[in-house]
């Protein structure tokens, strides 16, 4: 699966560069955003928009969302080259969420290097991140595939609906982080993931269905596939944070014990608090609520998660969600080759080690 991602990444990055070039000049600004009323400062926009965004993109990232988009297009029997420009939309949106989330989480690292706001400042990171929420709209309005007006309106409405739900999920996550007494249930956690991470997946699938003119039933089937797979991906991330922390983070690209250090409410934490002894549960809460933790305290929290069987519980939940995603995929009745590849993604998001 990693080979497929590596193979298709250059085409995705070229599509992104069509929307946000690595080098910004006045000609691009005038052509893409309209003539300046007075005069654009291209150098300023280079430093606060193109530079931070492309630094983050060049650090890596799997690009699995645009790749899934292209596989869905092919699975619908359509030409992926015609719709390649739209593959940039989910990756641009995802990049925006990373830039903003890292500021909100006060993250230190992203993809193995200092988070973008640590390099360029919080103001630059927030502005660039917010710009990435709106930039994809230009792709739709420029209409590279020659879609009719009704389809373009449906895409705008879809993006509006899903992005609003994305922020519901992020807002819920922030509230849990800030409220020491928050005690969400497993169902509430899964709903938070379905909004925060799942809606980006739904955008991938619904966009592929809309641009290629699929039925509402088929659109819903692939949307459920992508949403459920995305939640499994998030849980896989939570598991990796624990497992890689045992090896001081390794190639995972985040700080040692990142989720514990940030006091994040994950599925592992919810399960451990419900199943650990009262003493161990209280201790885990103390560590998660602390403003700062030593590495020994991080290791202690991770050990509580392990001894409570929370890692195994989270992995089993992710596997169940991956199986559910494959069921939704089968309902969409795509071409056999693409169905097999898309099903493999559901295994990759759980079994990956990066």
What are 259-310's pLDDT values in tens digits?
888 888 999 999 999 999 999 999 999 999 988 889 899 999 999 999 999 9
Helix (H) or strand (E) holding 110: strand 109-110
Per cent of the chain over pLDDT 70 is 96
Are 166 and 196 in contact by the 8 Å Cβ rule? The answer is: yes
* Res. 150: pLDDT tops 50: yes
Other CB atoms within 10 Å distance of the CB of residue 133: 17
Residue 214 sits at the vertex; the CA angle it makes with 210 and 215, to the nearest 5 degrees, is 115
What pLDDT, on the 0 to 100 scale, is given for residue 331? 97
Which is nearest to 146 in space by CA: 84, 199, 82?
A: 82
What is the band of 250 on the pLDDT scale with cuts at 50, 70, 90?
very low
Q: List Cα–Cα distances, 252 to 70, 118, 233, 248, in angstroms.
A: 26, 19, 14, 9
Residue 62: the pLDDT is 85
Residue 2 pLDDT grade (very low, low, confident, very high; cuts 50, 70, 90):
confident
Contacting residues for 76 by C-beta, under 8 A, at least 6 apart: 208, 209, 212, 214, 218, 334, 335
- Percent of the chain's residues with pLDDT above 90: 81
CA gap 263, 154 in Å, rounded: 39
| Per-residue pLDDT, 81 | 95
Q: How many residues does this entry show for the chain? A: 354
Inter-residue contact 175 to 197 (CB < 8 Å): no
Give the rounded distance of the alpha carbon of 179 from its chain centre.
24
Task: Please tell me the predicted confidence (pLDDT) of residue 158.
Answer: 98
- Note the pLDDT tens digit of each residue in 207-217: 999 999 999 99
Question: In the predicted model, what is the mean pLDDT of residues 119-134?
Answer: 97
Instruction: Look at residue 255 in the predicted model and tell me its pLDDT.
Output: 60
pLDDT value of residue 248: 42
User: Rounded to 5 degrees, what angle do the CA atoms 145, 150, 155 make?
Assistant: 65
- Helix ranges restricted to H, 79-197: 80-105, 116-120, 122-142, 149-178, 186-196
Query: 106 in the Ramachandran plot: left (φ > 0), alpha (ψ -120 to 50) or beta?
Result: left
Query: How far is the C-alpha of 18 from the C-alpha of 52, rounded, in Å?
Result: 17
pLDDT at 36 exceeding the cut of 90: yes
CA separation (Å) from 102 to 27, 107, 342? 32, 5, 29
Alpha-carbon distance of 164 to 16, in angstroms, equals: 23
State residue 249's pLDDT score.
43
Model pLDDT, residue 246: 57
Q: What is the dihedral of CA 74, 226, 104, 192, to 10 degrees?
A: 170
Phi-psi region of 111 (alpha: psi -120 to 50; beta: other; left: phi over 0): left
Adjacent-strand bridge partners of 114: 109
Integer distance in angstroms from the first to the last C-alpha of the chain? 12
Q: Is the pLDDT of residue 7 over 90?
A: no
pLDDT of residue 61: 86
pLDDT at 259: 86
DSSP string, 148-175: -HHHHHHHHHHHHHHHHHHHHHHHHHHH
CA dihedral over 175, 246, 347, 317, signed as positive or negative:
negative
**137 or 61, which is more confident:** 137
SS3 231: helix
Rounded to an integer, what distance in angstroms lies between the CA atom of residue 265 and that of residue 174?
Answer: 10
Contact 209, 76 (CB under 8 A): yes
Q: What is the mean pLDDT of the chain?
A: 93
Structural domains in the chain? 2-351 (1.10.600.10)
Give residue for tokens 């002894």: 277
Beta-bridge partner residues of 171: none
pTM, to two decimals: 0.93
* Orientation angle between helical segments 310-332 and 295-307, nearest 10 degrees: 70
Q: Hey, what are 68's tokens?
A: 């899934």
Rg (CA), the chain: 21
Q: Which one has a higher pLDDT value, 89 or 108?
A: 89
């Amino acid at each position: 699966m990693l080979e497929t991602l590596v193979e298709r990444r250059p085409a995705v990055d070229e599509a992104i560069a069509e929307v946000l070039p690595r080098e910004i000049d006045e000609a691009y600004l005038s052509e893409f955003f309209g003539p300046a009323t007075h005069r654009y400062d291209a150098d300023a926009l280079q430093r606060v928009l193109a530079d931070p965004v492309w630094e983050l993109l060049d650090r890596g990232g799997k690009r699995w969302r645009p790749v899934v988009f292209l596989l869905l297009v092919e699975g619908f029997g359509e030409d992926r080259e015609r719709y390649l420009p739209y593959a940039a939309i989910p990756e641009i949106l995802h990049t925006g969420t990373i830039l903003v989330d890292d500021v909100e989480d006060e993250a230190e690292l992203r993809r193995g290097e200092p988070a973008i706001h640590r390099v360029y400042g919080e103001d630059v990171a927030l502005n660039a991140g917010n710009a990435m929420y709106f930039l994809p709209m230009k792709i739709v309005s420029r209409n590279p595939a020659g879609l009719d007006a009704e389809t373009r309106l449906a895409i705008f409405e879809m993006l509006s609906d899903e992005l609003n739900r994305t922020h519901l999920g992020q807002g819920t996550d922030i509230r849990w982080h800030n409220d020491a007494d928050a005690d969400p249930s497993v169902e509430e956690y899964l709903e938070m993931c379905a909004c925060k991470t799942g809606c980006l997946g739904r955008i991938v699938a619904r966009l592929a269905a809309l641009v290629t003119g699929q039925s509402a039933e088929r659109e819903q089937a692939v949307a459920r596939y992508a949403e459920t797979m995305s939640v499994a991906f998030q849980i896989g991330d939570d598991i990796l944070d624990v497992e890689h922390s045992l090896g001081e983070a390794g190639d995972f690209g985040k700080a040692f014990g990142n989720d514990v250090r940030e006091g994040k409410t994950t599925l592992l934490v919810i399960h451990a608090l419900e199943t650990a002894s009262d003493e161990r549960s209280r201790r885990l809460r103390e560590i998660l609520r602390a403003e700062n933790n030593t590495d020994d305290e991080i290791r202690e929290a991770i050990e509580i998660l392990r001894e409570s069987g929370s890692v195994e519980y989270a992995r089993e939940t992710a596997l169940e969600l991956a199986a559910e995603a494959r069921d939704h995929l089968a309902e969409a009745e795509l071409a056999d080759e693409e169905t097999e590849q898309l099903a493999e993604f559901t295994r990759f998001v759980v079994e990956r080690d990066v």
